[in-house]
Amino acid sequence: MSDELTLAIIKPDAFGAGHAGDIISHLEEEGFELRAARVAELSREQAEAFYAVHREKPFFSSLVQFMTSGPCLPMALERENAVSHLRDVIGATDPEEADPGTVRAEYAQSVERNAIHAADSPDNAERELAFFFPRTELV
C-alpha cells in the first residue's frame, strides 16, 4: 500500500511542557516522516471550527479553552497506513486507558489535557491537513 498523509497536533499541554521534540522522535521511530509543521496559536473561532463535531458535548467549551491556552504544533505526517497507525501510536483518549508506550500514556495529564491529536479517518485527515497547510507547504 502506498504512503498516506495524516494530521497530528501536539497540544498546548505537551508543547508548553517542552515535550514536542520527544514526541516527534517517538513518531519518527514509528516510521512517520514529517512533511510540514508549524507553531500555531489557535483563535477561539479556529478551535471551535476544528472540533465542530464535538459542539454539543459537555466538554466542548473547556476543550476550546484548553486548545487556545497556548501554542500548539500541527504536523503533516507521512507513512504507510498513516491514519490508523497514528491512532494506535497515540493511544486511548483517556491516558488511564492508553496502552503502555503510547504517546498519551507517556505525556497526557488527563482525558482533556492529553498531549496530542490525530485525525481519525482518511477523510478527516484530508480536511484537517487543509485546515493547517496549503498544498504547496507539503513537501
Please, which residues have CB within 8 angstroms of residue 34's CB and are 6 or more apart in sequence? 24, 27, 28, 75, 76, 77
What amino acid is encoded at 86 in this protein?
A: L
In angstroms, rounded to a whole number, what is the distance separating the alpha carbons of residues 83 and 92? Answer: 15
> Taking CB within 5 to 8 Å according to partner kind, which of ligand ATP, Mg ion, none is near residue 26?
none
Sort 134 into a burial class: Cβ within 10 Å, 0-12 / 13-18 / 19+.
exposed
Given the complex with ligand ATP, which of 2 and 109 has the nearer CB atom?
109
Query: Is residue 4 close enough to count as binding ligand ATP by CB under 6 A?
Result: no
Q: Which of residues 102-131 bind ligand ATP (CB under 6 A)?
A: 111-112, 114, 117-118, 120
- Each residue 85-124 as x (binds Mg ion by CB under 5 A) or -, in order, gives -----------------------------------x----
| Residue numbers at the binding site for ligand ATP (CB under 6 A) | 54, 59, 63, 93, 111-112, 114, 117-118, 120
